[in-house]
Amino acid sequence: MCGRLSQYSGIHDFVAVLSMPNALVNTVGDQPLERYNAAPTTRVALLHLQGVLLHTDLVRWGWRPHWAKDRAPQVNARVEKVAHGPFFRAIWPHRAICPIDNWFEWVEEGGPKKQPYLIRHRDGSPILCAAIGQLPGSDEGHGKYDGFVIITADSAGGMVDIHDRRPVVLAPAQAREWINSATPKERAEQIALIEGEPSEAFEWFKVDLAVGNSRNQGAHIIDPLRSNQFLI
């Protein structure tokens, strides 16, 4: 996963897909998010549980432990190592969902610049990405070191031609279990490792090179190139 995503739906659209009856603490607002080209280090909407309350917060995309000052913040964590490696040990128990409309990858196709592709659910429904992080607390609010990473897995099927890594995307039932603090760590690892949605759930197509600059925003960013047909 190259590190660019879209969150243009409203937070209530994402919460509806998650389908949790919990009371909602919404610090994001009720209007569409309209982030068509969100880059690492920016704050994006995150869903997480605090007790029985479902929280929506804007959290920085990227995190590193306090002792790793010589390393850049990471935006992704490899599912094969995240549960047992020292880098993410402190935040592995703090699970969240990063809800998105789509993400982008860049492919070398022989041109002067890599070709960006947009990847989304075939049915257009929101995408629920498994995430972990240092998250805002209900009492103290946002902290200086808050941040999160999206968990990624090996691509499979045709998607490997677009990129060899992709987010671990969970169906609503698995997403609810993932963010439940009562879910044992071993079960959470199993969900991330083997219960992500398959490549067949997605479609992808070429988009304009303008997405390469995160200052470019707007609905035109997610439009397929006119000469392009869906690639499946």
pLDDT at 228: 47
pLDDT at 1: 64
**Is residue 230 assigned to a domain?**
no
**Is residue 21 assigned to a domain?**
yes
Query: Is pTM, for the whole model, over 0.75?
Result: yes
105 as an active site residue: the answer is yes
Distances from the Cα of 48 to the Cα of 106, 109, 131, 157, angstroms: 30, 39, 10, 31
**Is residue 210 assigned to a domain?**
yes
Tens digits of residue pLDDT in 161-185: 676 789 999 999 999 999 999 999 9
User: 3-state DSSP call for residue 118?
Assistant: strand
pLDDT per residue, tens digit, the chain (232 aa), is 668 999 999 999 999 999 998 899 999 999 999 999 999 999 999 999 999 999 999 999 999 998 988 899 999 999 999 999 999 999 999 999 999 999 999 998 888 899 999 999 999 999 999 999 999 875 555 677 899 999 999 877 666 567 678 999 999 999 999 999 999 999 999 999 999 999 899 999 999 999 999 999 999 999 998 764 444 4
Q: Give the active site residue among 34, 80, 98, 105.
A: 105
Range of the domain at 213: 5-222
In angstroms, the CA 46 to CA 188 distance is 18
Count of the separate structural domains present in the chain: 1
Q: Which residues, at least 6 apart from 194, have a Cβ–Cβ distance to it below 8 Å?
A: none
**Is residue 227 assigned to a domain?**
no
pLDDT at 170: 97
Cβ neighbours around 200 below 10 Å, total:
12
Tens digits of residue pLDDT in 65-99: 989 888 999 999 999 999 999 999 999 999 999 99
Structure-token pair, residue 133: 């992080």
**Is residue 46 assigned to a domain?**
yes
Q: β-pairing, 76-78 with 147-154?
A: parallel
Structure-token pair, residue 15: 């919460």
**CATH number of the structural domain spanning residue 127:** 3.90.1680.10
**Is residue 229 assigned to a domain?**
no
pLDDT at 157: 60
Q: Give the active site residue among 2, 98, 129, 203.
A: 2
pLDDT at 158: 61
**Is residue 232 assigned to a domain?**
no
